[in-house]
Amino acid sequence: MKLIFYTILTFAALILLGWLGLKIQPKPFPEFTSASSMVETIPLPSGLPVAVEKFYRQVYGDQIPVIESAIISGRATMRVNGITFPARFRFTHIAGQGYRHYIEATIFGIPIMKVNEHYLDGKGRLDLPFGVFEGDQVDMSANLGLWAETMWFPALFVTDTRVRWEAVDSETAILVVPFQDDEQRFVVRFDPESGLLQIMESMRFRDAEGSSKILWLNEALQWDSLGGSQLPTIGAATWFDEGTPWAVFTVEEIVFNADVATYIRATGP
């Protein structure tokens, strides 16, 4: 009986220890120190759908910044196999062209899983703790990720001439983005009161070898001023069939128009 008791006690202690470890946030990555160039602006284009024009006037006014690159850093929670881990992340974008993601999931603030993934030159590569994945479905999903993350610098949706908006109603519009020789679409919904972008919806493969697409939701949970711009400082990503976000990102630093040509092809933070 004593053996059973001590076994149960040890098991309970390990569960409690793990639970405590998952409550400790990692330290943020060091600030990105590369110099950034001046951000130029262009006039807000005419002919935008009502909801879209309202949004841009709310966030930028009549002058829209021309964003060429962005480095987005912060902390997150990410659900992996049913367990929600604290994490820290740094996402590097050449605006509208490609990205590199570096993520560390932690326990007691110590990295236990590292993710290196990129979408460069039209090709995606997922380097995950449980394998490396590439292929057409990865490319399609990565391109959607590229444009969904552009929510953090939405000026690009009107400064990139390859992108267009299509009207739906006073609170909704379709965002059409380039993908190889084709296009992909998001349904974009705006908050009826604030006019701010609220959610981006698209159909995306969840797995590299998935047989069907699933509704993928990217939600702006909180807007605030950061890096000289108003942007969604807290955002969530949800697979519709799961019902709750698998990842919630809190942006703590954003740097625009730095030279990232070499950095985006590196690994690590």
The answer to whether residues 254 and 69 touch, using CB atoms and an 8 Å cutoff, is: no
The answer to whether residues 237 and 48 touch, using CB atoms and an 8 Å cutoff, is: no
pTM (two decimals): 0.91
Question: Nearest to residue 259, comparing CAs of 92, 88, 123, 142?
Answer: 92
- pLDDT, residue 132, reads 84
Q: Euclidean distance between the first and final Cα of the chain, in Å? A: 50
- pLDDT, residue 20, reads 75
- pLDDT, residue 131, reads 78
- pLDDT, residue 220, reads 98
- pLDDT, residue 87, reads 98
- pLDDT, residue 58, reads 95
Question: Nearest to residue 18, comparing CAs of 84, 70, 117?
Answer: 84
Domains by residue range for the chain, with CATH: 2-265 (2.50.20)
- pLDDT, residue 128, reads 78
Residues 199 and 181: their CA atoms lie apart, in Å, by: 26
pLDDT tens string, the chain, 269 residues long: the values are 666 655 665 556 556 555 677 788 999 999 988 766 778 999 999 999 999 999 999 999 999 999 999 999 999 999 998 999 999 999 999 999 999 999 999 999 999 999 999 999 999 998 877 778 899 999 999 999 999 999 999 999 999 999 999 999 999 999 999 999 999 999 999 999 999 999 999 999 998 777 799 999 999 999 999 978 899 999 999 999 999 999 999 999 999 999 999 999 998 88
The answer to whether residues 191 and 198 touch, using CB atoms and an 8 Å cutoff, is: yes
- pLDDT, residue 229, reads 83
